[in-house]
A and B are shown apart, each in its own frame.
Chain A
């Protein structure tokens, strides 16, 4: 098969079937956009997890006017506490360094902290059983020199629930839209096969192979899938640039939930493109096999 001839056949096919091709592109775009959104959300949630949970689970923040005696007493009682697996002391300087590395993606936030003195020193605890948090908090919350006991997991749980919800919903809608995209592809190829039945009939008679007969259909599918995936990536980029970076700017600048990175958008793009092309090509191939029997 000559490439020019194949290309011509594809263009003819696409032109004849413009409305259905558009339908395929749009459904593929919707489903891949949502899939991409769920992938981005997963990455954000992972980053949040790392930020908050790879550090020790419970922080006992000390008052600014804590005395060295109080600090030593706390250190020894915490160290002797059966429920506490590990105690790490974090000085003001260490807290500041950590803060700077964790929030490198938000220079504004880092700048807002003038220096090590702003952040409190703390004991970071790892509990043997995280459920013991309540008891630990009530015991040390009132101890001399302690400002407050803070469990990031507890505080952030609603946000994680929200991200989980976003992930689940976008996955379900992506799945439904994906099913719609597949059905639309089936229908498109069926129509394409119908509108090309004369060509197909002649191809069969003159002895064209299955591959030759099906290739234009598969390539039409690939083309539509690629276009859909491209639009999906474009839509995600638009969402990132417009909604996340502009409309929701103030929300992310609090630093609680990390914003999606451009590198993450580009990392998701090839997956979407691959999936779009693969699914569209497979659907086209299978459908054309049914309707283009030699």
Chain B
């Protein structure tokens, strides 16, 4: 259960948002919408624990995430604007490193399954720097394909640069994760057919005072 209360974010001298409350229960998906610069990414980074809110707090399973970073991190899969994969490692090495880092069984089979799920099997031994933008995005999204998926997914514009088939794959993954009792928090610009049960929060752009 994810709960954020009374979040406020001030960047420079501009207040991005104030008084935001979020609640996400197992099986729920929350879509954060809003104009460019409205603070969608900042909100996601606050919920992920990468950014400290100016006011308010985020709680995961009843504990403040700033005090339970490791427990929260273990339950979290985060796909941000940056892919987080290393250009000089191969696709397979990247995926296996992430699994090993999270203490999962870093078997080659599980990694290959994850790549297969994102349609990257043919590129497994290519260095990430040789891939296109959309393929790199798929390498990042492969972290959602692990045999034991994380309880909470935070996805910042996950559909960017993806082709139609991968958009459909990602949608299926999100639906399966929700059906399995997971929670998904995402931002998306395009009109993507998100699961029917998705709730929506609209952030309004606020000019500097």
**A-B complex is real:** no
Q: Which residues of A contact B (CB under 8 A)?
A: none
